[in-house]
């Protein structure tokens, strides 16, 4: 019977108390720990996946794209095509024309599948709404604090 390896996803702690989601990933050279915010996108290449990082490097691993979709630490990612899984933190803009195009901060342009257009639009609107709500609540807290003094 073949041994099944379990990959645990957790959070890295920093001296200042901040935490960031990490992905623990087996490779042919061993196991590596990757902070999720450094991953720009993941591209499917048959039964392999290629991870693209913010420092310009890439890594090919023997995992299918669906495996990454199931990882809870990758909640900030969205599937835009059968071959692409994108970190929403690295999206610069989205053009909803006949062919939806996603512009990333690193200069890459990726097309969005027709069936994924509505989902990406909704996901980006949800991100925008949560950002606005967060900004409003923090400004309200500051206002209450100023009024109290």
pLDDT given for residue 5 in this prediction: 41
As averages over each run of 10 residues, the pLDDT of the chain (149 residues) reads 42 54 86 93 95 94 93 90 93 88 94 90 79 52 41
Q: Which residue has the tokens 């053009």?
A: 95
Ramachandran region of residue 28, left (φ > 0), alpha (ψ -120 to 50) or beta? alpha
Q: What is the pLDDT of residue 8?
A: 43
What's this model's pTM, rounded to 2 decimal places?
0.74
What is the chain's Cα-based Rg?
Answer: 18
Confidence (pLDDT) at 28: 80
How high is the pLDDT of residue 1? 39
What tokens appear for 38 in the block? 């450094």
Domains of the chain, residue spans: 11-148
Q: Which CATH number fits domain 11-148: 3.40.50.300, 2.40.50.1020, 2.40.70.10, 1.10.10.10?
A: 2.40.50.1020
Token pair 């990490």 is at which residue? 22
pLDDT score, position 45: 95
Chain mean position to CA 58: 15
């Amino acid at each position: 019977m073949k041994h099944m390896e379990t990959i645990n996803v957790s959070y890295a702690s920093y001296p200042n108390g901040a935490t960031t989601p990490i992905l623990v990933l087996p490779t042919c050279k061993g196991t590596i720990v990757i902070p999720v915010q450094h991953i720009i996108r993941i591209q499917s290449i048959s039964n392999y996946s290629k991870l693209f990082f913010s420092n310009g490097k890439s890594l090919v691993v023997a995992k299918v794209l669906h495996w990454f979709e199931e990882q809870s630490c990758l909640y900030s990612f969205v599937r835009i095509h059968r071959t692409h899984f994108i970190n929403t933190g690295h999206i610069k803009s989205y053009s909803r024309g006949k062919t939806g195009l996603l512009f990333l901060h690193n200069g890459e342009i990726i097309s969005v599948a027709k069936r994924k257009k509505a989902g990406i639009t909704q996901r980006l609107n949800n991100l925008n709404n949560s950002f606005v709500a967060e900004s409003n609540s923090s400004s309200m807290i500051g206002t209450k604090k100023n009024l109290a003094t």
